[in-house]
Amino acid sequence: MLSKSQIGFIKSLHQKKYRKEHKIFIIEGIKSILEFISSNYQVHSIYYLAQFEPLLPQMPANIKLFEVNNAELEKISTQQAPQGVLALVNTPEARKIEPAVLRNKFSIVLDGVQDPGNLGTIIRTADWFGFENIICSLSTVEVYNPKTVQATMGSLSRVNVFYQELPDFFEQVNLPVFGAMLNGTSLYEVNWGKEGLIVLGNEGQGVTEEVIKKITLPVTIPRVGTAESLNVAISAAILCADISRNLQK
Amino acid sequence: MLSKSQIGFIKSLHQKKYRKEHKIFIIEGIKSILEFISSNYQVHSIYYLAQFEPLLPQMPANIKLFEVNNAELEKISTQQAPQGVLALVNTPEARKIEPAVLRNKFSIVLDGVQDPGNLGTIIRTADWFGFENIICSLSTVEVYNPKTVQATMGSLSRVNVFYQELPDFFEQVNLPVFGAMLNGTSLYEVNWGKEGLIVLGNEGQGVTEEVIKKITLPVTIPRVGTAESLNVAISAAILCADISRNLQK
């Protein structure tokens, strides 16, 4: 049984303002929760329907457990069809990425991606292909948005997501910068090499002018048909898949 | 100025039941509407804010035009932030695909995709890569769902989407059937040839048992990292991109 104040607190975390204030975000579903428990994230508390208790592992003592009923879960859940278990997770301290960490690998840079589902899908795809780091412009949607978290399908627990002022960031790292653009070198002719940054822009506007200046090679996914553009998460995936294939040659 | 009954009618089309009953669906945004007008679809009526009137082309006489105010548009729109113009479009008669149409090309087969955004994104991606036809199992989400239509970004006006009983369908066409599976031949080793069907399954359950039996080559996108799976629209895009590259060799 949750108190009114507990329910009010968790519901407040549906909003970015309160996630930021309390440094806590919501994850849902037993699989995601198990992945976060065994990650570097600190799980704060877990709210579960009775029938999900057997699925919960032995918990560290600092994770608080609350059995809830359906009505309570519906109130605190961010989803139309709650998944039976919900957890609160502490947001890690915002970190700056160390340029040295990005050597000898590929990382994704997002310049103003706005749709939370797109960001989440990009994180999930990065996790599949072993891209460890995603660097987001300050204009990119918040990674702790429930729709983002949901779309990552647990991959948020494994992929590092940084928020940085982008033009500054490119000054600090000295790596090839590939940009997904509508006019550039054909994907089929790109020599990726062994390290670099892959820049993807906003859903409507693409990459900002100031970031375009930092791109060393604009890359285009050749179009055969008539669509005006590709979804940004789709473009990211096609580039990641090509890089991954190239690295395994 | 719309009548109460007009508003009620358009609002009813937010629901699948009434889209089916009236054989009409909603599209939004001037770009999509222009694309549908110049397609084989029959646009039924257009509802626009005054400032969008200059963007509307000379209309065929059978398309009814209604100027609306913001309050009216908010009522009839399916979107949180309406785009200024909304149109009703007649759903074409359900057709069966002719097997001969699928020769010498690749087509996408969806076996139970449930998320409307995923279906829409797959349609948009198909349009980019020039895949003309998508065949959906009867269990696949409705293509006229507003979220699907929105995610296609106008590509629905160009890609043919069919709904058919799937096992029957495979009996009728005699083509290689590639299936996106977690265990199969590496994408990097597939010889696509010049024609075939690409099967993608439900977001949670994958491809159904009865459809698995029809797959001649299961294909796997090699995983480097730790994610358990890829989003279905992402998998579709990576396969389409690879086939497209191969066809252009």
Contact A234 B230 (CB under 8 A): no
> What is the pLDDT of chain A when averaged over all its residues?
96
Q: What is the pLDDT of residue A66?
A: 96
Question: For chain A, which residues make up each domain, given as ranges?
Answer: 4-90, 99-247
Could you give the CA distance from residue B114 to residue B233 in angstroms, rounded to a whole number? 11
What ipTM is given for this predicted complex? 0.95
Q: Chain B, 74-113: which have a CB under 8 Å from a chain A CB? A: none
Per-residue tokens: A176: 């090839």
**Nearest alpha-carbon partner for A243 in A206, A202, A196:** A196
Q: What is the pLDDT of residue B1?
A: 83
Say yes or no to pLDDT of B249 above 80: no
Q: What is the pLDDT of residue A94?
A: 83
**Alpha helices of chain B — where are they, by DSSP H?**
4-12, 16-22, 30-37, 70-76, 116-129, 146-152, 166-172, 209-212, 232-247
Side chain identity, residue B4: K
Name B107's bridge partners.
B197
Contact B224 A129 (CB under 8 A): yes
**Which chain A residues have a beta carbon less than 8 Å from that of B231?**
121, 124-125, 151, 233
CA dihedral A234, A235, A236, A241 (to 10 degrees): 90
Name B109's bridge partners.
B135, B199
Q: What is the pLDDT of residue B94?
A: 84
Say yes or no to pLDDT of A156 above 90: yes
> What is the pLDDT of chain B when averaged over all its residues?
96
Could you give the CA distance from residue B122 to residue B57 in angstroms, rounded to a whole number? 29
Mean pLDDT of all residues in B81-97: 93
Helix axes B232-247, A232-247, angle to 10 degrees: 60
**Alpha helices of chain A — where are they, by DSSP H?**
4-12, 16-22, 30-37, 70-76, 116-129, 146-152, 166-172, 209-212, 232-247
The radius of gyration of chain B from alpha carbons, rounded to an integer in Å, stands at: 20
| Reported confidence tier of residue B95, pLDDT bands at 50, 70, 90 | confident
Q: What is the pLDDT of residue A58?
A: 87
CATH class of B99-247: alpha beta
Q: Which residue of B has its CA nearest to A221?
A: B241
CA distances from B82 to A98, A112, B69, B155, B241 (A): 42, 21, 12, 19, 33
Q: What is the pLDDT of residue B60?
A: 84
CB A228 within 8 Å of CB A199: no
Nearest to B130 among A117, A158, A224 (CB): A224
Mean pLDDT of all residues in A187-200: 96
**Nearest alpha-carbon partner for A108 in A16, A244, A220, A213:** A244
Identify the helix (H) or strand (E) that includes residue B113.
Answer: none
pLDDT tens digit sequence for B112-131: 999 999 999 999 999 999 99
CA distances from B19 to A63, B171, B216 (A): 48, 31, 37
DSSP designation for A248: T
Could you give the CA distance from residue A82 to residue A80 in angstroms, rounded to a whole number? 6
pTM attached to this predicted model: 0.96
Say yes or no to pLDDT of A249 above 80: no
φ and ψ of B17, to 5 deg? -50, -45
Mean pLDDT of all residues in A191-207: 96
Mean pLDDT of all residues in A60-71: 94
| Reported confidence tier of residue A51, pLDDT bands at 50, 70, 90 | very high
Per-residue tokens: B93: 């008669």
Per-residue tokens: A162: 């940084």
| Reported confidence tier of residue A116, pLDDT bands at 50, 70, 90 | very high
CA dihedral B116, B98, B18, B37 (to 10 degrees): 80
Per-residue tokens: B230: 């890829």
**Nearest alpha-carbon partner for B158 in A229, A223, A226:** A226
Identify the helix (H) or strand (E) that includes residue B28.
Answer: strand B24-28
Q: Is B234 on the interface with A (CB under 8 A)?
A: yes
CA distances from A26 to A113, A120, A144, B48, B93 (A): 21, 14, 8, 39, 44
Could you give the CA distance from residue B131 to residue B140 in angstroms, rounded to a whole number? 19
Contact B129 A241 (CB under 8 A): no
Fold assignment, A4-90 = 60s Ribosomal Protein L30; Chain: A; (3.30.1330)
CA distances from A84 to A104, A180, B104 (A): 42, 39, 48
Per-residue tokens: A104: 């000898």
Q: What is the pLDDT of residue B232?
A: 98
Q: What is the 3-class SS of A191-211, one letter each residue?
A: CCCCCEEEEEEECCCECCHHH
Say yes or no to pLDDT of B165 above 80: yes
Q: Which residue of B has its CA nearest to A132?
A: B225
Could you give the CA distance from residue A64 to residue A237 in angstroms, rounded to a whole number? 37
Could you give the CA distance from residue B246 to residue B249 in angstroms, rounded to a whole number? 5
pLDDT tens digit sequence for B30-74: 999 999 999 999 999 999 999 999 999 888 889 999 999 999 999
Q: What is the pLDDT of residue B49?
A: 97
Mean pLDDT of all residues in B133-148: 97
Q: Is A239 on the interface with B (CB under 8 A)?
A: no
Nearest to A121 among B126, B225, B231 (CB): B231
Say yes or no to pLDDT of A132 above 80: yes
**Nearest alpha-carbon partner for A214 in A202, A199, A203, A225:** A199
**Which chain B residues have a beta carbon less than 8 Å from that of A153?**
227-229
Mean pLDDT of all residues in A124-136: 98
Contact A128 B154 (CB under 8 A): no
| Reported confidence tier of residue B248, pLDDT bands at 50, 70, 90 | confident
Mean pLDDT of all residues in A22-47: 96
Which of helix, strand or coil describes residue A41?
coil
CB atoms within 10 A of CB B153: 22
Helix axes B116-129, A232-247, angle to 10 degrees: 70
Could you give the CA distance from residue B96 to residue B200 in angstroms, rounded to a whole number? 20
Residues 6 or more apart whose CB falls under 8 angstroms from that of B79 comprise B28, B146, B150
Say yes or no to pLDDT of B4 above 80: yes
